[in-house]
Amino acid sequence: MNNNENVNIFLESQPVGKLMLRYAVPLIISLLVAALYNIVDQIFIANADYLGSNGNAANNVVFPMTVIALAFTLMIGDGVCAFVSMSLGARESRQAGDSVGSALLLSSTCGIILAIIYYIFCDELLTFFGGRVNEETFRLAQEYFSYIIIGIPFYVFGQAMNPVISADGSPNYVMFSTLIGAGINIILDPLFIFVFHWGMMGAAVATVAGQIFTAGMSLLYVTKKMKAINFSRANLSYNFPLMKRYLPLGMCSFLSQISLVISVASVNIMIKKYGALDPIFGQSEYSQIPMAVIGIVMKFFQIVISIVVGLSASCTPIVGYNVGAERPDRVRNLFTLLLKCEVILGFVAFIIVEFFPESIAELFGASGESVYYADFTVKCFRTYLCLIVLACVNKAAFIFIQAMGRPYLSALLSIVREVIFGAGLVIVMPIFMGLDGVLWSMPASDALTFIISFVVIFMIYRDLKNLDSSSKEKDNANQSTE
């Protein structure tokens, strides 16, 4: 029996609000920093007069490839995090160590395979995601992506290990290692872009340098600093029986990201198609503006969703442990607190996008672009994200279901949101509304999804109430026996 297996017993005793704060703050910061890798690149690119909106559009074209890599990362990392938490709650320490060992090998292999695929099909992928909006955008996208590919194995490994480190009880380590990696990117970006004039290559190299550092810190922790999880070289193996158990727990995270890729691809394709039919953006000198602007809006949305996911994912080790320890009352209280936090976050984001879109546009180089760039940015923010409150609640409900050990239901809901509603509406609505149809497809998707989320939220509360009643009856029966 491992003498470390009770290290995480505080997950069953401390107030859920205190626990959520403990896990959420470092996790949110680490997710925000991870999101900032791409966003910081775009800000510096947008403000470089020799790159501008063409560089911004190129960055948006490459973005889905990063999301694909993140999908595999989260399937491994979130899946093993939930599984480890449940194993520790059930006092099965050897199983927790074996799952981490297999996840380490799997994430390393996955990152290398992805990089090879990206290298072989570079031009085809860029074309599919709208890179040929004009020749300059495609050239810059090629330059940026060719160097981003180098960092993919490090990115996948580092991000996959972060949830494991959090499950081990060290979310602060994740926060600081990711912060330092992002700091490296922020320092090198202006140096490479404005001083060395390396352009898109400079932005990509700065990003990769930060990713390598974070991956190194993750490797150091997993191999040398584990606390609650008993991990050694003996745990390193492709343990397929365990993979079959923990990968489904991360399937929702995987499908939500892959579904996002499908949605982004649909948006990019429709933006390119209907932008070319627009009287302004159909002109060659303005053709890249819709692609660049929708990328900016998605980056802001990514910041908000990083906080949403951070809050929700911070519940995973708490939920997993208390499910394993048969404490549904604590799980129900945590879910209530999560929903309240997500609604507040959504309203704050709504105020920003509706009342301060010009400030965001200026941050992404609007002052150096045409008036059409600034005007379309404001319109895009106010329309595309007008129901961002519902988007926050939807995402939180789906992630919480996954944390409760129901990955297939969570995955199905994510597919409905991103593919059926997200991709479907963005294809259909422009037929009747033109370019505006692309913008209104997002709030329409969120509204329809919320109807489903309402049912899901009711179902979660009902099931937790039933489990709580069964648990109390069991305790009373045990006391009567004694």
DSSP letters of 371-435?
Answer: HHHHHHHHHHHHHHTTTHHHHHHHHHHHHHHHHTT-HHHHHHHHHIIIIIIIIHHHHHHHHHHTH
Q: Which residue has the tokens 């060395």?
A: 196
Distances, alpha carbon 133 to alpha carbons 87, 127, 270, 386, 423, in Å: 50, 9, 11, 27, 20
Q: Where are the alpha helices (DSSP H) in 47-168?
A: 52-89, 93-120, 122-128, 135-167
- pLDDT per residue over 122-162, tens digit each? 999 999 998 888 899 999 999 999 999 999 999 999 989 98
Q: Which of 467, 452, 444 is nearest to 410 (CA)?
A: 452
Range of the domain at 153: 15-469
What is the tens place of the pLDDT at every residue in 48-87?
888 888 898 898 899 899 989 989 998 999 899 888 877 8
Report which of 333, 338, 317, 316 is spatially closest to residue 468, judged by C-alpha positions. 333
Residue 90 DSSP one-character state: T
The answer to whether residue 231 sits within a structural domain is yes
The secondary structure of residue 248, as a DSSP letter, is G
Q: Is the pLDDT assigned to residue 284 strictly greater than 90?
A: no
Domain-located, residue 475:
no
Name the more confident of 58 and 322.
58
How far is the C-alpha of 105 from the C-alpha of 101, rounded, in Å? 7
* Tokens linked to 153: 């194995």
- What is the model's pLDDT at position 1? 42
pLDDT of residue 480 exceeding 70, the answer is no
- Choose from 49-63, 142-156, 256-270, 313-327 the range with maximum mean pLDDT: 142-156
Q: Is residue 182 over pLDDT 80?
A: yes
Q: What percent of the chain has pLDDT over 90?
A: 42
421 occurs within a structural domain? yes
pLDDT class of 476 with cuts at 50, 70, 90: low
Nearest to 362 by CA among 377, 347, 349: 377
- Residue 197 within a domain: yes
Per-residue pLDDT, 209:
95
Question: Pick from 242, 365, 334, 287: which is nearest to 131 by CA?
Answer: 287
Kindly tell me if the per-residue pLDDT of 2 is higher than 60.
no
pLDDT confidence of residue 427: 94
Our CA angle for 267, 73, 242, nearest 5°, is 135
Q: For 83-121, b where at least 16 C-beta lie within 10 A, e where not — what string?
A: bbbbbbbbebbebbbbbbbbbbebbbebbeebbeebeee
Share of the chain above pLDDT 70, in %: 94
Res. 12: pLDDT tops 80: no
Is residue 84 assigned to a domain?
yes
pLDDT at 74: 87
Amino acid at 89: G
pLDDT of res. 478? 59
Most confident of 42-56, 240-254, 304-318, 340-354: 340-354
Q: Which of 341, 392, 394, 312 is nearest to 82 (CA)?
A: 312
Q: What is the mean pLDDT of the chain?
A: 87
Contact present, 41 and 207 (Cβ < 8 Å): yes
Lowest mean pLDDT among 17-26, 150-159, 205-214: 17-26
Residue 45 lies in a domain: yes
Contact by Cβ (8 Å): 246, 75: no
Measured CA angle at 137 (ends 134, 140), to 5 deg = 150
Q: Is there a domain that residue 317 lies in?
A: yes
Confidence of residue 105 (pLDDT cuts 50, 70, 90): very high
The mean pLDDT of 84-106, rounded to a whole number, is 84
Q: Would you say residue 471 has pLDDT above 70? A: no
Provide the domain count of the chain: 1
pTM of the model: 0.77
pLDDT of residue 472: 65
Residue 101 pLDDT:
92
Q: What is the mean pLDDT of residues 422-438?
A: 94
The predicted-structure confidence for 365-414, as pLDDT tens digits, reads as follows: 777 788 898 899 999 999 999 999 999 999 999 888 877 878 778 878 88
| Average pLDDT of the segment spanning 37-41 | 77
